[in-house]
A = this chain, B = another copy of it.
Amino acid sequence: MSQPTAARDGLSVGEAAREAGVSIDTLRYYEREHLLRTERTPSGHRRYSPGDLEWIAVLTCLRETGMPIRRMREFATLVGEDDDATIGARIDLLAEHREDVLRRIRELEANLAHVEGKIAYYRGRSAG
């Protein structure tokens, strides 16, 4: 209990989930969706390396910016090919995503202004 699993190299799925701030089911789901591959212990338990955790952080970042799983799979495939010839494609994909995110931020800001206008309107109305 003092050093629960530090000696094994790699974290269990439960530990990795806690570290990464996602659910165990999400990690397994990502694997089914081919966003992630993991080593297994001889008995079939998943083991997560520090590199895996970094990759999960990348996935989480893409998800939080609204990238669909389908698109994340494309990216994961490019990265998984581990071929420098795919680097251009990776940049293109990320750059396109960047534009999407910027567009969405601008949309949010525009709509936010309307919400604020509405708030101001109600404040005026309640003040009489």
Contacts and interface: CB of A to CB of B under 8 A. Distances in A.
A126 B84 contact: yes
Closest 9 CB pairs of A and B: A87-B126, A65-B111, A91-B122, A61-B114, A94-B119, A61-B111, A64-B111, A101-B112, A87-B122
B90 A122 contact: yes
Contacts of A84: 125-126
Interface of A is mostly: helix
Contacts of A87: 122, 125-126
Nearest to A127: B87
Interface in A64-123: 64-65, 84, 87-88, 90-91, 94-95, 97-98, 101-102, 104-105, 107-109, 111-112, 114-116, 118-119, 122-123
Nearest to A57: B114
A123 B65 CA distance: 21
Nearest to A90: B122
Contacts of A22: none
Contacts of A64: 107-108, 111
Contacts of A126: 84, 87-88, 91
B91 A115 contact: no
B122 A97 contact: no
Nearest to A116: B98
